[in-house]
């Protein structure tokens, strides 16, 4: 640092600067004082001075000499002058040496031009530094002839003012000096004494008139006052001096200067009101009223200006910020001075509001409905959700998670998964509509903030049915060990209800809409099936040309795309009585399926039973052939199985009901319990029947069914049939009885099973539990008059064959 350059002639040199600390923001003012060192020597304006002094100058006459200048201050400044030689002149210093603008030489004894025309003196200026520095000037004195009056100024000091924007050539003041001499000695010349370079660039003086004018650009901010030394000299060499003090008037020609000392370019949106955003310094180089600054910002912004130290302002928040509403502010700061007219300046700060995780992810809906077909392909997407977060950056990066839960005892992750980035739902494995029709899941959307925020949404997932199940026939039940036949009387009217096919489909919607139709229906078909209800009815009157036994194949088809179907065989017998049915029954063939592992045992059991049965039949046919011929009862040989008929009760009015007879033809040997299969029970009165074994619920029918016979009535019918067989065996010839003992003939009453009853008929009177339900003996049952029964052509043909036998 150079003190002389910074402070020039000022005795105390210092400057200030401001220090701003951030986080938290604080302001300090630092003042630096620059101490002087003796690095400058005293310097005279001229290296040589020439003075013209009249020889008439009396002792005590004073002659001004330009003083030396030492830019140092204090002890290092100019301390004394030394004049050599001193035989004619001494030095006279006015005031303090360091403040003196000029020094004077005082004549000690008269000069004699005739003796010495020229005098040469050396003037030395010495400072007080260590080591000392000095400067010298050579003074040449020319002794002149007589001129005994020196010029004299009218004022010792002239004062003037000039505005800083004064134009060049502006007259500031005029100095004037007079001389009492006459002749050439009264001609006076004016000039600046010790004028610095800056003064010479700004002002000039007319040497004849003494007018001081502006020749440069005056700036108040550089120089507020000028002090100029003016000297007047006549032709006799006598001089006089005066001073001019020029004050510069400030003009409001400087706009306020805005300097941003510190600034947060990004401010968190959760900053509290009063947070300092920026620290601003505003300077105006003008003076007085021109430096009074007013600082402001736009009123609609959530900020304000607060004054701190002199010329310092703080930009602070005034209210709560919200980045989601306004992410960036352009703050224009306006500074206006107090001049007339006022000058102003503006500076715009761009402030970005940084995000804070203050918003949780939001779904577009509170819940969603998603649909997926059953039997879907695993790992295939079927739905997607999306949540948005009003934040930005990591705070707005949303991840999706499937919340914990269970379905049918298994975690939801075993059924579904969600892509954490896209929110796409995937099925882990296929769904089955028959097991799961719908369920709910919760998906959580979580952002990447710290701490993270989340939002939930419920997704209702509905499994859509596909036609992947065939219809299931509940009635009639198809088994490999028995055959169910429906009896239709020959007198049946058109629309007679034969039976009803009951089927269900575990699918839903149109996939479960079932329709029924007969396979290979001929033009002369006797039956038709209801398209929707499955009821098999006659469509015309029965004729003699109609076969006694008819096998109907019913196709049950759903309404799916593509449709699925199932078939069921319904055996129908057209007859008016049971013996007629029995004679035709031997021609029915039953499809049987045998397990390969049981074939051997079944064949062996059949052979043994068949041998015993043949012996019994031979004995009965030989002795009671006339009874068998009357009753039209025949027993099949080893390839055929016997039939135990079920006689429905005859009501007092002679009617047998709509669905009159169902026969269950067991194919097991006679010595095994003969039972009516419970699985072939008719539907109840509402048209509904029980499901097959292992199925729950009841199948709904479409129409009323007749009331089934009571247990007592069924026992009466079965006992009647069994008594006839017993009577037939009792009339055997004794010869045959001896050869074929009666114990080999089975008592069929012991093997009768009543559906829905735990009672079993037996020959032992003590075990005949149904007797309690009967009002009379079995003989009370009306006998069937076989010859009087209506005969079909087929039955007549068979009767003829039997008669021949």
pLDDT digit string (tens) for 34-54?
Answer: 898 888 888 888 889 888 888
Q: How far is Cα 82 from Cα 76, in angstroms, rounded to an integer?
A: 17
> For residue 562, is the peptide bond before it cis, meaning its omega torsion is within 30 degrees of 0?
yes
CA–CA separation, 275 vs 263, rounded Å?
12
The pLDDT of residue 182 is 67
State yes or no: pLDDT of 792 exceeds 50.
no
**Tokens of residue 197, six digits:** 């370079």
| CA of residue 398 relative to chain centroid, distance | 4
Which residues is 554 bridged to in the sheet? 518, 568
Which pLDDT band, with edges at 50, 70 and 90, does 520 fall under? confident
| Tokens linked to 515 | 């329709």
Share of the chain above pLDDT 70, in %: 72
Check residue 705 and give its pLDDT: 37
> How many C-beta neighbours within 10 Å does residue 499 have?
28
Looking at residues 381-395, what average pLDDT do you find? 92
Report, as an integer, the average pLDDT of 397-405: 92
Position 626 scores a pLDDT of 63
CA-CA distances (angstroms) from residue 70 to 4, 38, 637?
Answer: 10, 10, 160
Instruction: Return d(Cα 609, Cα 672) in angstroms, integer.
Output: 10
| 394 pLDDT above the threshold of 70 | yes
Can you read off the two tokens belonging to residue 67? 């003083």
CA 775 to CA 79: how far, in whole Å?
Answer: 166
Lowest mean pLDDT across 11-15, 25-29, 531-535, 559-563: 11-15
Q: Which two tokens stand for residue 433?
A: 């509509």
How far, in Å, are 152, 306, 370, 406 from residue 409 at the CA level? Answer: 126, 67, 22, 6
Q: How confident is the model at residue 95 (pLDDT cuts 50, 70, 90)?
A: low
pLDDT over 80 at 484, yes or no: no
Contact status, residue 790 vs residue 580, Cβ threshold 8 Å: yes
Gap between the Cα atoms of 171 and 160, Å rounded? 10
- 735 DSSP 8-state letter: H
Mean per-residue pLDDT for 117-136?
A: 91
pLDDT of residue 581: 63
What percent of the chain clears pLDDT 90, i.e. is strictly above it? 33
85 prior amide bond cis, ω within 30: yes
Mean pLDDT of the chain: 76
Place of tokens 């390969």: 596
Q: What is the pLDDT of residue 481?
A: 53
Residue 589 has a pLDDT of 45
Span 389-406, average pLDDT: 91
Residues 722-775: tens digit of each pLDDT? 454 344 434 434 433 433 333 333 343 333 333 333 333 333 333 333 333 323
Q: Which of 780, 660, 788 is nearest to 723 (CA)?
A: 780
Name the least confident of 191-205, 239-253, 282-296, 652-666.
652-666
Residue 443 pLDDT > 50 = yes
Give residue 661's pLDDT.
38
pLDDT at 367 over 90: yes
The more confidently predicted of residues 576 and 97 is 576
Pair of tokens at residue 69: 């200048």
Give the number of C-alpha atoms closer than 13 A to the C-alpha of residue 239, restricted to the C-beta side: 24
pLDDT of residue 730: 42
Cis preceding linkage at 222, omega within 30: no
pLDDT at 187: 84
Find the range with the poorest average confidence among 241-245, 358-362, 435-439, 663-667: 663-667
Tens-digit pLDDT profile for residues 139-167: 999 887 666 678 899 999 999 999 988 99
Q: What is the mean pLDDT of residues 21-31?
A: 87
pLDDT digits (tens, 9 = 90+) for 602-654: 777 888 888 888 888 887 878 777 665 655 444 443 334 333 333 343 333 44
Contacts of 262 (CB under 8 A, 6+ apart): 20, 22, 25, 278, 279
In 3D space, the residue among 643, 644, 638, 642 whose CA is nearest the CA of residue 605 turns out to be: 638
Residue 211: the pLDDT is 95
More confident: 586 or 606: 606
pLDDT tens sequence across 185-240: 678 999 998 888 889 999 999 999 999 999 999 998 888 899 999 999 988 778 89
- Let me know: does 740 contact 614? Beta carbons within 8 Å: no
pLDDT at residue 788, rounded to an integer: 38
What is the average per-residue pLDDT within 569-574? 88
Tokens of 133: 């520095």
Candidate from 327-341, 449-463, 754-768 with smallest mean pLDDT:
754-768
| Residue labelled with tokens 């398209």 | 531
Confidence bin at 173 (pLDDT 50/70/90): very high
Q: Give the tokens for residue 751.
A: 């093997």
pLDDT band at 413 (very low <50, low <70, confident <90, very high): confident
Q: 177-199 b/e with 16+ CB inside 10 Å = b?
A: bebebeeebeebebebbebeeeb
DSSP states of 705-758 as a string?
-PPPPPHHHHHHHHHHHHHHHHHHHHT--HHHHHHS-GGGS--GGGGEE-TT--
Asked if the bond preceding 341 is cis, omega within 30° of 0, the reply is yes
* Model pLDDT, residue 630: 57
């Amino acid at each position: 640092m150079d003190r002389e350059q910074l402070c020039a002639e000022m005795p105390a040199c210092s400057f200030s600067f401001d220090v701003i600390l951030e986080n938290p923001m604080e302001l300090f003012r630092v003042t630096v004082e620059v101490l002087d060192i003796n690095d400058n020597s005293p310097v005279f304006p001229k290296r040589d001075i020439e003075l013209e002094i009249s020889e008439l100058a009396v002792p005590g006459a004073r002659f001004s000499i330009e003083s030396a200048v030492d830019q140092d201050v204090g002890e290092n400044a100019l301390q004394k002058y030394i004049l050599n030689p001193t035989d004619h002149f001494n030095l006279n210093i006015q005031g303090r040496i360091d403040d003196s603008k000029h020094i004077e030489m005082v004549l000690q004894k008269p000069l004699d031009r005739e003796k010495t025309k020229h005098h040469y003196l050396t003037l030395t200026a010495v400072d007080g530094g260590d080591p000392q520095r000095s400067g010298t000037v050579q003074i040449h004195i020319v002794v002149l002839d007589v001129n005994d009056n020196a010029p004299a100024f009218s004022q010792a000091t002239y004062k003037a003012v000039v505005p800083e924007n004064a134009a060049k050539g502006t007259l500031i003041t005029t100095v004037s000096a007079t001389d009492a001499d006459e002749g050439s000695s009264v001609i006076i010349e004016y000039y600046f004494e010790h004028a610095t370079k800056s003064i010479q660039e700004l002002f000039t003086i007319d040497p004849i008139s003494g007018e001081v004018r502006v020749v440069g650009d005056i700036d108040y901010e550089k120089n507020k006052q000028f002090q100029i030394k003016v000297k007047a000299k006549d032709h006799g060499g006598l001089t006089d001096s005066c001073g001019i003090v020029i004050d510069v008037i400030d003009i409001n020609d400087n706009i306020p200067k805005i300097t941003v000392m510190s600034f947060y370019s990004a401010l968190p949106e959760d900053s509290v009101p009063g947070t300092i955003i920026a620290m601003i310094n505003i300077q105006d180089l003008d003076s007085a009223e021109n430096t009074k600054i007013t600082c402001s910002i736009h009123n609609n912004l959530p900020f304000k200006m607060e004054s701190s130290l002199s010329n310092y302002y703080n930009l602070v928040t005034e209210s709560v910020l919200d980045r989601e509403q306004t992410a960036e502010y352009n703050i224009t700061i306006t500074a206006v001075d107090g001049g007339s007219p006022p000058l102003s300046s503006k500076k715009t700060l761009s402030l970005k509001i940084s995000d804070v995780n203050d918003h949780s992810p939001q779904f577009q809906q509170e819940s969603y409905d998603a649909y997926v077909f059953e039997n879907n392909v695993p790992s295939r997407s079927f739905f997607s959700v999306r949540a948005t977060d009003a934040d930005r950056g990591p705070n707005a990066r949303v991840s999706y998670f499937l919340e914990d839960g269970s379905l049918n005892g298994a975690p939801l992750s075993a059924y579904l998964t969600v892509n954490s980035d896209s929110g796409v739902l995937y099925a882990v494995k296929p769904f089955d509509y028959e097991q799961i029709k719908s369920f709910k899941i919760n998906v959580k959307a979580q952002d990447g903030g710290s701490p993270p925020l989340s939002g939930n949404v419920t997704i209702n997932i509905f499994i859509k049915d596909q036609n992947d199940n065939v219809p299931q026939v509940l009635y009639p039940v198809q088994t490999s060990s028995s055959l169910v036949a429906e009896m239709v009387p020959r007198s049946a009217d058109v629309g007679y209800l034969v039976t009803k096919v009951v089927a269900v489909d575990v699918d839903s919607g149109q996939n479960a809409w079932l329709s029924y139709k007969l396979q290979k229906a001929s033009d002369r078909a006797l039956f038709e099936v209801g398209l929707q209800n499955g009821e098999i009815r006659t469509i015309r009157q029965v004729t003699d040309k109609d076969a006694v036994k008819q096998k109907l194949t019913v196709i049950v088809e759903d309404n799916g795309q593509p449709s699925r179907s199932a078939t069921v065989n319904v055996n129908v017998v057209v007859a008016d009585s049971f013996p007629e049915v029995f004679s035709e029954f031997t021609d029915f063939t039953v499809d049987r399926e045998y397990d390969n592992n049981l074939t051997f045992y079944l064949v062996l059991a059949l052979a043994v039973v068949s041998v015993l049965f043949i012996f019994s039949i031979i004995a009965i046919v030989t002795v009671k052939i006339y009874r068998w011929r009357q009753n039209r009862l025949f027993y099949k040989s080893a390839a055929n199985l016997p039939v135990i008929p079920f006689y429905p009760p005859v009501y007092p009015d002679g009617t047998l009901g709509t669905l009159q007879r169902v026969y269950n033809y067991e194919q097991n040997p006679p010595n095994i319990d003969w039972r009516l299969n419970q699985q072939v029970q008719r539907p109840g009165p509402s048209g509904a029947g029980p499901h097959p074994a292992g199925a729950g619920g009841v199948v709904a029918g479409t129409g009323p069914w007749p009331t089934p016979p009571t247990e007592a009535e069924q026992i009466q019918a079965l006992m009647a049939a069994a008594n006839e067989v017993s009577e037939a065996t009792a009339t055997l010839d004794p010869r045959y009885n001896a050869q074929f003992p009666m114990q080999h003939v089975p008592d069929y009453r012991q093997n009768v099973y009543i559906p829905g009853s735990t009672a079993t008929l037996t020959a032992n009177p003590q075990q005949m539990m149904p007797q309690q339900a009967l009002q009379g003996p079995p003989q009370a049952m009306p006998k069937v008059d076989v010859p009087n029964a209506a005969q079909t052509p087929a039955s007549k043909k068979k009767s003829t064959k039997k008669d021949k036998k």
